[in-house]
């Protein structure tokens, strides 16, 4: 404890988690996209820092990919999307801001309670804290998907969830790059599909509020 390596990675991880909270209380879609971009940049920092600490050069590649995709490409694409679709700038929430923040705090507490005792045996303190934060980010991503009605915010929730997975992957020494790349590719594909669906929904229904979909179910 107390070594610079530990402190810095703790700091970056905390930052990623903080941005997840930020995303939960934003009311404007532009702000949500911005915070997602910042989170992607922080994730790239975390990967680079881990690459330096673990002397694992392939993590620099991960950092590069994370930065270019998460901090630059995807937010830009989302902004373009929002502009082209002329979306309402306000985000409709289905769960109140206060309630979702309270739930988020509960989820962070839960992941601390789960990860710390489970990894009490062998893992290094660094990996334990890292896993705790990563699990929290994953849970908050899922919460964001549930708490928002807008399809774009739901896609961002899914991508946040993937950020958490990458954070866990870079934090554990010896995790091969293949895993990260394939996870990232998988989630990107999901995001692609989601984007197509978003366009389809808008073309057909003139709104991105997924609540409207309930009326369109074939089996009802």
Query: From start to end of 45-160, where are the E strands?
Result: none
- Number of Cβ within 10 Å of residue 176's Cβ equals 10
By CB under 8 A, tell whether 149 contacts other proteins.
yes
Nearest-angstrom CA–CA distance, 93 and 83:
20
- Binding other proteins by CB under 8 A: which of 145, 173, 188, 190? 145
Are 208 and 152 contacting, i.e. CB atoms less than 8 angstroms apart? yes
| Under rule CB under 8 A, residue 214 binds other proteins | yes
204 in contact with other proteins (CB under 8 A): no
Is residue 142 part of the contact set for other proteins (CB under 8 A)? Answer: yes
Query: How would you classify residue 116: left for phi > 0, otherwise alpha for psi between -120 and 50, otherwise beta?
Result: alpha
Candidates 50, 111, 136, 150; binder of other proteins (CB under 8 A) is: 111
Length, in residues, of the chain: 220
* One residue of 5, 118, 186, 196 binding other proteins per CB under 8 A: 118
User: What does the binding site for other proteins look like in residue numbers (CB under 8 A)?
Assistant: 94, 107, 110-111, 113-114, 117-118, 139, 142-143, 145-146, 149, 210-211, 213-214, 219-220
């Amino acid at each position: 404890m107390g070594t610079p390596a530990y402190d810095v990675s703790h700091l970056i991880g905390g930052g990623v988690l903080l941005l997840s909270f930020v995303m939960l209380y934003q009311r404007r879609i532009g702000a949500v996209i911005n915070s997602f971009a910042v989170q992607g940049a922080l994730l790239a920092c975390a990967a680079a820092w881990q690459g330096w600490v673990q002397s694992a050069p392939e993590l620099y590649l991960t950092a590069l990919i994370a930065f270019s995709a998460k901090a630059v490409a995807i937010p830009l694409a989302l902004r373009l999307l929002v502009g082209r679709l002329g979306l309402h700038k306000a985000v409709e929430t289905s769960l109140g801001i206060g309630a979702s923040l309270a739930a988020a705090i509960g989820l962070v507490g839960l992941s601390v309670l789960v990860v710390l005792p489970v990894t009490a045996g062998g893992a290094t303190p660094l990996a334990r804290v890292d896993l705790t934060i990563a699990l929290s980010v994953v849970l908050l991503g899922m919460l964001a998907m549930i708490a928002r009605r807008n399809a774009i915010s739901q896609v961002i929730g899914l991508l946040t969830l993937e950020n958490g997975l990458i954070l866990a992957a870079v934090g554990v020494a010896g995790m091969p790059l293949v895993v990260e790349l394939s996870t990232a590719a998988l989630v990107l594909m999901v995001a692609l599909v989601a984007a197509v669906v978003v366009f389809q929904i808008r073309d057909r229904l003139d709104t991105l509020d997924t609540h409207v979909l309930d009326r369109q179910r074939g089996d009802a």
